[in-house]
Structure 1
Amino acid sequence: MDEGVSPTLRQWQLAEALQGYRDRASMTLDQAAAKLREVGKRWSKSKIHRIETRSYAPKPSEVEQFAEVYGLSKQETEELVRMSHEAREKGWWQSSAMPKTFHTMAGLERDAKEIRQWEIALIPGLMQTSDYARAVIESIEPSTPPDVVDSLVAARTTRGRVITRKSPPKVHVILCEMALRCPVGGRKVMRGQLEKIIELTNERNILVQVAPIAGGVNPGLEGGFSILSLPQLSSDIGYADGVMGPVYLESQDDVRRCTMRFAALATLALSPKKSTELVRTILTEYQLSERGRGMTALDLSRATWRKSSRSGANSGGGQCVEVIALTSRPWRRSNRTGGANGSGGNCVEVVGLRGDRVAVRDNKNP
């Protein structure tokens, strides 16, 4: 048995094992319930169904009764009893502010061997910065008290450590370009978030692709979803979240549909290298737009303008340019004036103004 496995995965493994042993014993739910009532009390078809669908984690004593009815060996019984003990323990997420509806997913992420995820509008929770997570939480649930928001952000940050821990799962994320361009929390928050994505692409276990908006419609427009591969489970698990809560997709048809859709998205998306280049491009756009917000216009509406000496022959041709002198400023020679030591070519001087503004003049005719 693996060490350090979460209670969530243990319960899933236990439920799958019990259903498998019932099938091996060729018993229906009704037949199993009748046999169990012979060795214990309060057994019913619905109770067995809840155990097999993971709605209820059976006690070790109840697991021993299953073992007796299904005719299990001593070794098989001991294995199931151990699973039962571990399945009834508490994971860190169960004592956090994380919504109960997400506890199962947090436990599965904790033990996944591989995580594949497609997202349209938001950066996946496992990759979010604390500032981005806070902006998302406050936008979706504006009435959430500040202390609860703090706890939710802390829980999401803890979740994110799964993909960078020692022996992490293999992670393949495909993002719609829209998720990178939607300014969640503002430009500063998005800069930090995109920087983190770029940093994560350097991890050997993490692969990031971007589906460009210019590519038009794609198979993932119906919504985001995840596919998790877990140890000792017979098949992968699909997951989708929405307004009505989480949905787990376990049937072979549903999982196959998710897998094929993800494969199609991976084919349509940019390569990992080009995807990282696009993330860097968008990051630069955020950086430039943020600098632009800090610039202030210079009001020269009352200034006296004059014709520049560089406006063309006799001022009758070429570019008609007018200039204004800023004589109170400490002008200096530009390093772009041309010629050795700035002695030839167009003699240009510059002066720095407040913020990111710069004034330029011809020093031959200032």
Structure 2
Amino acid sequence: MASELRRLRTAADLTREEVTERTGINGATLYRLETARARPQARTLKALLDLYDVDGQQRGELAALLKESNERGWLHTFEPELPDQYAAYISFEQEGRRLLNFESLFVPGLLQTEDYARAVIRGTLPMASRDEVDGRLEARMQRQALLVKDEPPHLWAVIDEAVLHRHVGGGKVMRAQLQRLHDAADQPNVTLQVVPFVGGAHPGMHGSFIIMQFERGNADIVYLESMTNDLFLESETDIKRYNLVFEHLRAVSSSPAATRALVAAVLAQELK
């Protein structure tokens, strides 16, 4: 629902401010609807569809979509423990057709083992309670079902070589994680590449990011995670910039076959 509302507004060539002026819908409310932080009430949806000139079959489909969006999925169980932005990100991730993920420090969340994920959450959130850690961990493990569902999205993950050498959780945990990465590289809907140390400086050194690409007609979203405030970038300029950065990262990375060999080599060294 969120991505469809954004697509319709974009197709109507309207800014959020213009929608607010013409419908009276609060700007903050509109932002929450378009970032999956809230579900529209029926009258709000009607006002938006009237403004966007949506009628006929498409209107009926969106009404049905609203009904479906009000049904609670697995994510609802974890929402009290998850920040709004992260919960919104998971919602978008579930709808993506291609996920372009660059990570400079961690194994991508969709490819983490449970022990590695637990060590990451505990290490990066030292003030989190046990319940918070457990909630985030279970949500992360649930997310991974995305890659094995019928018609799964394609995950293209590029990681800095440093990710392979940082001992998150200790040697035993890291060995299992390296094996998981090696196995994941064989999945037909997963492409894994490593930016090698010998490549020197690269555009990903500014930080990790994820580009979520949806069905045709729905605009991409860039997600940036930080210590204080996660961000969604939606402007055409930002989307183009991050897609270009990802293309550069793919170009300077080892090939998928060479990456798989590198992961195997690091794993072999860890087993000695």
Q: Using structure 2 for the length normalisation, give the TM-score.
A: 0.88
Instruction: Please point out which of 233, 236, 248 is paired with 1:252.
Output: 236
| Structure 2 Cα separation of the partners of residues 110 and 30 of structure 1 | 28
Q: Is the 8 A contact 1:227 1:236 kept in 2?
A: yes
Label 1:21 to 1:84 Cα distance change in 2 as closer, same or farther (>3 A). farther
Greater Cα offset, 256-265 or 143-152: 143-152
Q: In the alignment, residue 175 of structure 1 is paired with which amino acid?
A: I
| Structure 2 Cα separation of the partners of residues 69 and 109 of structure 1 | 28
CA displacement at 1:180 relative to structure 2: 0.6
Residue by residue over 1:112-165, the C-alpha shift from the partner in whole angstroms, topping out at 9 and shown as x without a partner, is 111111111110111000000010111112233334322321111111121122
Label 1:74 to 1:233 Cα distance change in 2 as closer, same or farther (>3 A). closer
Instruction: Please point out which of 92, 96, 99 is paired with 2:83.
Output: 99
Match of 2:183 in 1: 199
Residue by residue over 1:207-257, the C-alpha shift from the partner in whole angstroms, topping out at 9 and shown as x without a partner, is 111111121111110001111111254322111111122211111111111
Q: Is the 8 A contact 1:19 1:52 kept in 2?
A: no
Q: Is 1:84 equivalent to 2:74 in the alignment? A: no
Q: Is the 8 A contact 2:224 2:230 kept in 1?
A: yes
Instruction: Output aligned runs, 1:1-12, within 5 Å.
Output: 10-12=1-3
Q: Is the 8 A contact 2:7 2:219 kept in 1?
A: no
Q: Secondary structure at the match of 2:192?
A: strand
Label 1:71 to 1:141 Cα distance change in 2 as closer, same or farther (>3 A). closer
Match of 2:257 in 1: 273
Q: In the alignment, residue 148 of structure 1 is paired with which amino acid?
A: E
| Structure 1 Cα separation of the partners of residues 39 and 180 of structure 2 | 38
| Structure 2 Cα separation of the partners of residues 248 and 192 of structure 1 | 32
Percent identity between the two aligned chains: 27
Q: Is the 8 A contact 1:114 1:230 kept in 2?
A: yes
Residue by residue over 1:293-314, the C-alpha shift from the partner in whole angstroms, topping out at 9 and shown as x without a partner, is xxxxxxxxxxxxxxxxxxxxxx
Q: In the alignment, residue 84 of structure 1 is paired with which amino acid?
A: L
Instruction: Output aligned runs, 1:161-310, within 5 Å.
Output: 161-288=145-272
Label 1:211 to 1:44 Cα distance change in 2 as closer, same or farther (>3 A). closer
| Structure 2 Cα separation of the partners of residues 280 and 134 of structure 1 | 23
**Displaced runs of 4+ in structure 1, greater than 6 A?**
none
Instruction: Please point out which of 24, 44, 62 is paired with 2:44.
Output: 62
Match of 2:22 in 1: 32
Q: Is the 8 A contact 2:100 2:156 kept in 1?
A: yes
| Structure 1 Cα separation of the partners of residues 9 and 226 of structure 2 | 31
Q: Using CA pairs below 8 Å that are at least 6 residues apart, which structure has the higher relative contact order?
A: 2
Q: Is 1:14 equivalent to 2:14 in the alignment? A: no
CA displacement at 1:110 relative to structure 2: 1.0
Aligned residues: 267
Match of 1:314 in 2: none
CA displacement at 1:49 relative to structure 2: 4.4
Instruction: Output aligned runs, 1:118-197, within 5 Å.
Output: 118-197=102-181
For structure 2, list consecutive stretches of 5 or more residues without a partner in the other structure: none
Label 1:72 to 1:183 Cα distance change in 2 as closer, same or farther (>3 A). closer
Match of 1:352 in 2: none
Greater Cα offset, 236-245 or 46-55: 46-55
Residue by residue over 1:179-213, the C-alpha shift from the partner in whole angstroms, topping out at 9 and shown as x without a partner, is 11000011110000000001111111111111111
Label 1:48 to 1:29 Cα distance change in 2 as closer, same or farther (>3 A). farther
Q: In the alignment, residue 73 of structure 1 is paired with which amino acid?
A: D
Q: Secondary structure at the match of 1:221?
A: helix
Which has the larger helix fraction? 2
Label 1:49 to 1:109 Cα distance change in 2 as closer, same or farther (>3 A). closer
Q: In the alignment, residue 22 of structure 2 is paired with which amino acid?
A: A
Q: In the alignment, residue 32 of structure 1 is paired with which amino acid?
A: R
Q: Using structure 1 for the length normalisation, give the TM-score.
A: 0.67
Q: Secondary structure at the match of 2:240?
A: helix
Q: In the alignment, residue 240 of structure 2 is paired with which amino acid?
A: R
